[in-house]
Chain A
Amino acid sequence: MASEYASSGEYIKHHLQNLTYGQLPEGTVRYDGTVLNAPTWTFAHGTEEVQAMGFWSINVDSMLFSIGLGVLFLFFFRMAAKKATTGVPGGLQNFVEWIIEFIDTSVRGSFSHRNAMVGPLALTIFIWVFLMNAMDLIPVDWLPYAASLAGVPYFKIVPTTDPNVTFGLALSVFALVLYYSVKMKGSGGFFAELAFQPFQAKNPILKYLVFMPINLLLEGVSLIAKPISLALRLFGNMYAGEMIFILIALMFGGGWILAAFGGVLQWAWAVFHILIITLQAFIFMTLTIVYLDMAHAEHH
């Protein structure tokens, strides 16, 4: 399929673009050279059009797959939960119980406070992120090609390779961190945590005039770094993985020797990727638990 594109660069670019729906302003030059004489709601073709749409546009494919996978996850887990018996569990219940026990053990291991939300939160993150990552294992051309046959120009099936998705998750977690920090310590306590450590002094001048700005800067950066690192770690890993799949897919257009070699590579990378998608989901979950634990903890 790579051969249908003018260059491999275009192929890659095409595969890395989301199906974005938004309003193009008046006077925009479309991809086919037409000029819009009125603001138009449409799907973007090419990066320039995406940029022209600004913030109020939406990546339809990301939303579709993330919601679809989330609903799939909740559907199966809800089915197991509804039929949950205390007797001998069936196959699905066994599987769900195994996962929930695993999550519960992780939460108990890193989260030392009482909060009924953390378990379900961790479960949702782990399974949802895992499923979104797992879309990476589907060969890169299958679904986008099927979509293009159906007239959809772009179709990016791995939601976690869209920074909007990972940042959406990470910022929600960050909001929870802020909420629980203020709730558990009070806004004064939370401020004190940011302002009066790591550098401490008894002398008020030193304490308020010298150390406070330094502490605020240090702690502020480390606070902001939490959601950003959380989002970028997942995005970066998945984006890089996807990129390698795309590069391998390029080999399929280069004669049968190269294609066979590409097939082997694709298989090997997919096997390795199983580890990465699981690990990244687990890391995202664990860090969320740890951040929330820190938010709950009283500092000394």
Chain B
Amino acid sequence: MNFNATLIGQSITFVFFVWFCMKFVWPPIMNALETRKKQIADGLAAGDRGKHELELAAKKAADNLRDAKAQAAEVIAQAEKRAAQIVEEAKMAAKEEGDRQLAAAQANIEQEANRARESLREQVAGLAVAGAEKILRREVNAQTHADLLGQLKAEL
């Protein structure tokens, strides 16, 4: 083994290479590695967050759907109730109208009956008077008994 100045040259070269590597090679690549690591971590975190948000949104959608269904059911129930009410009201109105018309008819009938009775009474009274006249025409003077007959007519 012969040692010579190569030893020194080698050391200087080595120091220079290490310096160069330390200055221009190692930091940029380590930076790139670190940054990428961070980016990947961030990406994964964002993915997780997205998944979480999706879950939340799905839950919210389900809630909304349930609410809407409940509302719709309520509206339908209300409508049914209202329809029943309307039918009921119509029924009531119809019944009232019928009653009223019935009452009017009855009043009419009564009136007609009264009128008929009145005319009958008139006719009966007339007949009675005519009968009595016929009887009395033979026995009494019509003038003498006129006020008696008028009295009788009023009583009938």
The answer on a CB contact under 8 Å between A55 and B5 is: yes
Contact of A62 with B6 in the complex, beta carbons under 8 Å: yes
A120 at the interface (CB under 8 A from B): yes
Give the bracket for the number of chain A residues in contact with chain B: 35 or more
Q: Which of B18, B29, B35 has the most CB of A within 10 A?
A: B29
Is A53 in the interface zone, CB < 8 Å from B?
A: yes
A121 touching B22, Cβ below 8 Å: yes
CB interface residues, A 89-124, toward B, < 8 Å: 89, 93, 96-97, 100-101, 104, 116-117, 119-121, 123-124
Q: Are B13 and A55 in contact, with the CB atoms below 8 A?
A: no
In the bound complex, CA of A291 to CA of B145 (Å): 170
Q: Is B25 within 8 A of A168, CB to CB?
A: no
In the bound complex, residues from chain B placing their C-beta under 8 Å from that of A167 are: 3, 7, 10
The answer for the CA separation of A172 and B28 in the assembled complex, in Å, is: 25
- Check if A56 is an interface residue, CB within 8 A of chain B: yes
A56→B4 contact, CB < 8 A? yes
* Interface status of A80 (Cβ within 8 A of chain B): yes
- Least CB separation from B3: chain A residue: A164
Does A266 have its Cβ within 8 Å of any Cβ on chain B?
no
Q: How far, in angstroms, from A154 to B3 measured CA to CA in the complex?
A: 17
Separation of A87 and B43 alpha carbons in the complex (Å): 12
Partner of A124 from B6, B11, B17 at Cβ < 8 Å:
B17
The residues of A that contact B30 with a CB separation of less than 8 Å are: 100, 104, 119
Q: Is A78 within 8 A of B24, CB to CB?
A: yes
A39 sits at the interface (CB 8 A): no
Chain A-chain B contacts (Cβ-Cβ < 8 Å), number: 127
Q: Which of B4, B27, B36, B39: most chain A Cβ within 10 A?
A: B4
A77 with B17, Cβ < 8 A, contacts A50-B2, A163-B3 known: no
Q: Give min CB distance, B21 to chain A, whole Å.
A: 4
Contact partner, B22, options A97, A120, A162, Cβ 8 Å: A120
Q: Which of A55, A58, A120, A167 has the most CB of B within 10 A?
A: A120
Interface size for chain B: under 10, 10 to 19, 20 to 34, or 35 or more residues? 20 to 34
Contact A20 B28 (CB under 8 A): no
B15 within 8 A of A: yes
In the complex, are the beta carbons of B4 and A84 less than 8 A apart? Answer: no
Residues of A within 8 A of B156 (CB): none
Contact at A66–B10, with CB atoms within 8 Å? yes
Contact residue among B3, B6, B20, B29 (Cβ-Cβ distance under 8 Å from A80): B29
A22 within 8 A of B: yes
B33 to chain A, nearest CB (A): 6
B26 A86 Cβ-Cβ under 8 A: no
A67, B6: Cβ atoms closer than 8 Å = no
Please list 16 pairs of residues, one from A and one from B, whose beta carbons are closer than 8 Å in the complex, sorted by A's number: A54-B4, A62-B10, A74-B20, A78-B20, A80-B29, A81-B28, A85-B32, A93-B29, A100-B26, A116-B22, A120-B18, A121-B21, A123-B26, A124-B14, A168-B8, A171-B11
Leading 9 A-B pairs by shortest Cβ distance: A168-B10, A164-B6, A120-B22, A84-B32, A81-B28, A120-B21, A86-B35, A120-B26, A59-B6
Extra contacts, 5 of them, besides A55-B3, A164-B10, A168-B14 (Cβ < 8 A), are: A74-B20, A86-B39, A89-B32, A124-B18, A168-B9
